Copies of this chain bind each other. A is one copy, B any other.
Amino acid sequence: MTENLDATDWAILVELQQDGRLPLTELGRRVSLSASAATERVKRLESAGVIAGYRAQVDLGRVGYAVLAVIRLKYPGSKHEPLHRLLERRTEILECLRTTGDDCYTLKVAASSMSHLEQIADELSAFGSTNTNLVYSEPLPYRGPQTPPRS
């Protein structure tokens, strides 16, 4: 299941995680490969599923979502479909992790205002008890894995 990646593959992953639109010819230059060799590597990584896709990253604040929050949801019972339907419908919910522990779900939610956030929290409360924390800032700019696991 896990692929065998050499140092060049990792260099490619680091570059493409920093700039997903990097032209393949420039990518080849940075990892000391010809454009066609770099292309073959990238295509192999894509079709092996190592590279799952490419995403534009949009600035939440600049599109009107001023509030970011982490909501933990304690979800009793095992009927998950209604919640999944809410996840589909409510695009303000950006991320959903199902975790161990008392709080079965951890959600990342964007809202335009506190009252907007309140609405979403109310909808979630229908499923179980919620625990909301506002996000002050993100000290770490987003990144993915940069090196092979060391231990």
- List A residues at the B interface (Cβ < 8 Å): 1-3, 5, 13, 16-21, 48-66, 68, 70, 80, 83-84, 87, 91-101, 103, 105-106, 110-113, 115-116, 119, 133-140, 142-151
What are 15 pairs between A and B in contact, CB < 8 Å? A3-B63, A13-B58, A18-B53, A49-B62, A50-B59, A51-B59, A53-B57, A55-B142, A63-B145, A91-B146, A92-B149, A93-B140, A100-B136, A111-B149, A116-B151
B51 near A58: Cβ-Cβ < 8 Å: yes
Chain B contacts of A19 at CB under 8 A?
A: 53-54
The 10 closest A-B pairs by CB, nearest first: A112-B149, A20-B54, A16-B56, A96-B140, A99-B133, A91-B146, A101-B133, A64-B149, A98-B136, A21-B54
Chain B contacts of A57 at CB under 8 A?
A: 51-55, 144
With A55-B17, A97-B138, A101-B133 already in contact, the answer to whether A151 and B70 are too (CB < 8 A) is no
A56 near B20: Cβ-Cβ < 8 Å: yes
Which of B91, B99, B115 contacts A143, CB < 8 Å? B91
Q: Whole-angstrom distance between the alpha carbons of A52 and B52 in the complex? A: 20
Chain B contacts of A91 at CB under 8 A?
A: 143, 145-147
Closest CB of chain B to A55's CB: distance in Å?
A: 5
B51 near A56: Cβ-Cβ < 8 Å: yes
Closest residue of chain B to A112, judged by CB? B149
Q: Whole-angstrom distance between the alpha carbons of A98 and B134 in the complex? A: 8
B112 near A151: Cβ-Cβ < 8 Å: yes
